[in-house]
């Protein structure tokens, strides 16, 4: 597996978790 693929996958995972965290914060603040 290439390093670029690993980095892209890690980046996608971080974005997904960031999106989930934002959604949780918005829900808690609403």
- pLDDT reported for residue 1: 73
Q: Between these two residues, 29 and 30, which has the higher pLDDT value?
A: 29
pLDDT in tens, 2-26: 999 999 999 999 999 999 999 999 9
> What is the DSSP track for 1-30?
--HHHHHHHHHHHHHHHHHHHHHHHHHHH-
- pLDDT reported for residue 17: 95
- pLDDT reported for residue 30: 74
Q: Alpha-carbon distance 28 to 26, whole Å?
A: 5
pTM of structure: 0.57
Phi-psi sector, 26: left (phi>0), alpha (psi -120 to 50), beta: alpha
- pLDDT reported for residue 9: 96
Q: Alpha-carbon distance 28 to 8, whole Å?
A: 30
């Amino acid at each position: 597996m290439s390093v670029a693929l690993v980095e892209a996958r890690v980046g996608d995972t971080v974005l997904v978790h960031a999106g989930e965290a934002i959604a949780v914060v918005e829900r808690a603040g609403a």
